[in-house]
């Protein structure tokens, strides 16, 4: 008996069942329907499924409002691709913990197998944005799909770069596919839904919780043959994606940046550890055919020395990077009125945290190591 979409969705929605346990159950029972019909005893004897999870499955499987989920899916013009479907992405299938289902806006194509992920900081420098847009465009022009996470900053630039030349791009979300996060990327979201594809493993209405993003990251790398890190600080999400890529046997690329910029510490540590340094898209393309080296990631994290800052100073400081930006922009982004911004900047300058350059522009002073 063919499994219905409902069964897949139900399985995916049961609390406590993620991709790993879901795969174990599927291996054991063969289909979602059998899982949903199994009794407690059968369930808890599956390797890796304890009594607790088994109870959760039994207690919640009938309570889930699957009708509602289906109607939301229809209403949002979303399609669902299950692990058993033919059009389930081939790259993703090969990872250790592939999603059980993918909610999809747009269309997944077989050509998407030739994909490169590009990720980086949400607070990029102008340089970082330029690099992301340029590389992404050049790769997309060569019919390589660009995978990223629709986040602010580098992700946005990566998607835009691909779209700018009519190329393909895939956005992987850390929330339900009916939610656009960050909200300012609405137009981008819609455009990708039309000209590329947006995917998520999360049920409709799932909020963009912090814990979702590492899971999302494994899909980004999982969909791709390699991951390009454009600007990443220590402990950044982009480094987690790089870590996933390595576990999944994908190639890792990193673009070098300004050594004074803490926002490139992560990318540089990857390079030190063997990630391929990228200056131009050829550097990526020549690797795609032969994926070989796997490198361990163990970024040494140095804690930054702290100077006491007021909350307004903190707010302004966090906006600054190693690329000078103008006082008007700082005021706009911080939400502080211009005279307040002006005095806060002077105080930060006096505390030695930032520097002013010609043109009423401000940037961070590199922290002493």
Compute the least distance from the CB of residue 160 to other proteins, in Å: 15
Nearer to other proteins, 253 or 362 (CB): 362
Nearer to other proteins, 25 or 345 (CB): 345
Please choose, from the candidates 175, 176, 139, 178, the residue with its C-alpha nearest in 3D space to the C-alpha of residue 159.
Answer: 139
Nearer to other proteins, 2 or 358 (CB): 358
Compute the least distance from the CB of residue 353 to other proteins, in Å: 13
> In angstroms, what CA-CA distances link 48 with 9, 20, 30, 43, 99?
21, 9, 16, 10, 17
- The Cα–Cα gap between 122 and 119 comes to 9
* Side-by-side strand order, sheet with 101-106: 79-82, 101-106, 197-200, 169-172, 145-148, 115-119, 226-229, 251-254, 276-277
The total of other beta-carbon atoms located within 10 Å of residue 141's CB is: 15
Task: Choose the stretch contacting other proteins; rule: CB under 8 A; options: 190-198, 234-242, 289-297, 335-343.
Answer: 335-343
The total of other beta-carbon atoms located within 10 Å of residue 364's CB is: 21
The total of other beta-carbon atoms located within 10 Å of residue 313's CB is: 18
Which parts of 338-367 interact with other proteins (CB under 8 A)?
A: 338-340, 342-347, 349-350, 356-361
Nearer to other proteins, 309 or 361 (CB): 361
Compute the least distance from the CB of residue 323 to other proteins, in Å: 10
The total of other beta-carbon atoms located within 10 Å of residue 238's CB is: 31
Compute the least distance from the CB of residue 352 to other proteins, in Å: 8
Compute the least distance from the CB of residue 356 to other proteins, in Å: 6
Compute the least distance from the CB of residue 338 to other proteins, in Å: 4
Which parts of 49-78 interact with other proteins (CB under 8 A)?
A: none
Count of residues interacting with other proteins (CB under 8 A): 22
Compute the least distance from the CB of residue 317 to other proteins, in Å: 15
The total of other beta-carbon atoms located within 10 Å of residue 41's CB is: 9
Compute the least distance from the CB of residue 113 to other proteins, in Å: 38
Rounded to 5 degrees, what are φ and ψ at 45?
Answer: -90, 0
- The Cα–Cα gap between 236 and 270 comes to 12
Which parts of 115-154 interact with other proteins (CB under 8 A)?
A: none
Q: Decide if residue 318 touches other proteins (CB under 8 A).
A: no
- The Cα–Cα gap between 41 and 38 comes to 8
Going by DSSP bridges, is the β-strand pair 276-277/251-254 parallel, antiparallel, or unpaired? parallel
Nearer to other proteins, 293 or 328 (CB): 328
Going by DSSP bridges, is the β-strand pair 226-229/361-364 parallel, antiparallel, or unpaired? unpaired
Nearer to other proteins, 41 or 339 (CB): 339
Interface pick for other proteins out of 43, 331, 354, 364 (rule CB under 8 A):
331
Residue 367 contacts residue 305 (beta carbons within 8 Å): yes
Interface pick for other proteins out of 190, 286, 328, 367 (rule CB under 8 A):
328
- List interacting residues with other proteins (CB under 8 A): 326-328, 331-332, 338-340, 342-347, 349-350, 356-361
């Amino acid at each position: 008996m063919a499994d219905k979409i409902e069964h897949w969705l139900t399985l995916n929605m049961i609390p406590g069942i993620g991709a790993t346990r879901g795969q174990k159950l599927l291996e054991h029972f063969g289909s979602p329907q059998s899982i949903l019909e199994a009794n407690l005893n059968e369930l808890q004897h599956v390797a890796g499924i304890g009594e607790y999870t088994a109870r959760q499955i039994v207690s919640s499987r009938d309570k889930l409002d699957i009708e509602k989920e289906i109607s939301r899916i229809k209403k949002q013009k979303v399609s669902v691709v299950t692990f058993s479907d033919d059009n389930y992405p081939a790259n993703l299938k090969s990872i250790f913990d592939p999603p059980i289902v993918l909610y999809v806006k747009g269309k997944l194509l077989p050509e998407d197998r030739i994909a490169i992920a590009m990720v980086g900081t949400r607070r990029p420098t102008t340089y970082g944005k330029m690099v992301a847009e340029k590389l992404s465009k050049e790769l997309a022009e060569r019919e390589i799909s660009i995978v990223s996470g629709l986040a602010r900053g580098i992700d946005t630039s990566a998607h835009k770069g691909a779209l700018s030349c009519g190329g393909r791009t895939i956005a992987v979300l850390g929330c339900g596919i009916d939610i656009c996060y960050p909200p300012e990327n609405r137009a981008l979201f819609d455009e990708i839904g039309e000209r590329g594809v947006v995917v998520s493993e999360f049920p409709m209405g799932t909020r963009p919780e912090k814990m979702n993003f590492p899971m999302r990251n494994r899909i980004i790398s999982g969909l791709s043959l390699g991951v390009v890190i454009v600007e990443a600080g220590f402990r950044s999400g982009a480094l987690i994606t790089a870590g996933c890529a390595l576990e999944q046997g994908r190639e890792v690329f990193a673009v070098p940046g300004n050594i004074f910029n803490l926002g490139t510490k992560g990318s540089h540590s990857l390079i030190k550890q063997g990630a391929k340094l990228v200056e131009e898209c050829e550097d990526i393309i020549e690797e795609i055919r032969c994926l070989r080296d796997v490198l361990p990631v163990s970024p040494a994290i140095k804690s930054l020395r702290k100077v006491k800052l007021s909350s307004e100073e903190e707010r302004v400081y966090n906006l600054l990077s190693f690329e000078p930006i103008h006082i008007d922009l700082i005021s706009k982004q911080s939400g502080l009125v211009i005279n307040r911004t002006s005095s806060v900047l002077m105080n930060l300058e006096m505390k030695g945290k930032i520097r002013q350059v010609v043109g009423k522009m401000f940037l961070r002073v590199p922290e002493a190591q």
